[in-house]
Amino acid sequence: MTPPPARGGRVRRRRMPGQGRLLGAAALVVVGALLPWVYSPAGPVTGMRGPGLWTFYAAMLALAGGLTPPRWRVLAAVQGAVVGLVAIGLPVWQVVHLLQLVGTQGWAPGPGLVMTFAGGVLSLVAGWQLWNLRGGEAPATT
């Protein structure tokens, strides 16, 4: 016998472990893309003027991965890995590019760069957690 539905006739679906982290990573990357990535003497440079736009697009992929049903767990894990690589790779490339252009003088990394990088790390962690689930079930705790 199946249990009765929750109040209001709706059945609440449980999220897989890692989906919440993937949604959090999407939020971090979206906010990071909108904030300044670099502070220079000419003023702050927002992420949306450069690679932040690409990380914003990747964050939409993380959002989709965080909302997928449990039967598509592998797809969500792959989406988390792709977003993680983009959200880590582009900020690292930006820092290396600036170091090659002007060295360490005259600029400082902004909060958007740091938030995007952190969102990428969180996305990789979420993808790894989704990939390691056994049969779509939550791991047993002792």
Q: For residue range 78-127, what is the model confidence (pLDDT) as tens digits?
A: 999 999 999 999 999 999 999 998 888 888 999 999 999 999 999 999 99
pLDDT at 134: 62
Lowest mean pLDDT segment, chosen from 3-7, 116-120, 138-142: 138-142
Instruction: Look at residue 8 and tell me whether its pLDDT is greater than 70.
Output: no
Max distance between CA atoms of the chain, in angstroms, equals 70
Report which of residues 108 and 135 the model is more confident about. Answer: 108
Alpha-carbon distance of 76 to 61, in angstroms, equals 9
CB atoms within 10 A of CB 83: 32
pLDDT at 129: 93
Q: What is the DSSP string of 36-91?
A: EEEEETTEEEEGGGTTHHHHHHHHHHHHHHHTS-GGGHHHHHHHHHHHHHHHHHHH
Task: Give the predicted TM-score (pTM) of the model.
Answer: 0.82
Question: Percentage of the chain surpassing pLDDT 90?
Answer: 60
pLDDT at 35: 94
The overall average pLDDT reported for the chain is 87
